[in-house]
Amino acid sequence: MNDAVGDQAPLYAKVLTVSDGVFHGARDDTGGRGLAAHLASNGFEVIDHRVTQDGAAEVAAELSEMADGFAGLIVTTGGTGFAPRDQTPEGTRSVIERDAPGLAEAMRLVSPFGRLSRGVAGIRGQAIICNTPGSPKGTIEQIDAVIDVLPHALRLLHSDPTEH
Residue 3's pLDDT is what?
A: 39
**How many residues in total does the chain contain?**
164
For the stretch 120-154, pLDDT in tens is 999 999 999 999 999 999 999 999 999 999 999 99
Q: Does the global pTM surpass 0.85?
A: yes
Q: Where are the domains of the chain?
A: 12-157
| C-alpha distances out from residue 15 to 7, 26, 84, 99, 104, Å | 24, 20, 23, 19, 17
Residue 160's pLDDT is what?
A: 64
Residue 138's pLDDT is what?
A: 97
Residue 45 CB-half CA count within 13 A = 8
CB 162 within 8 A of CB 149: no
Residue 104's pLDDT is what?
A: 98
CATH fold of 12-157 reads Molybdenum Cofactor Biosythetic Enzyme; Chain A (3.40.980)
Residue 159's pLDDT is what?
A: 82
Task: Name residues of the chain where pLDDT drops below 70.
Answer: 1-8, 160-164
Residue 9's pLDDT is what?
A: 77
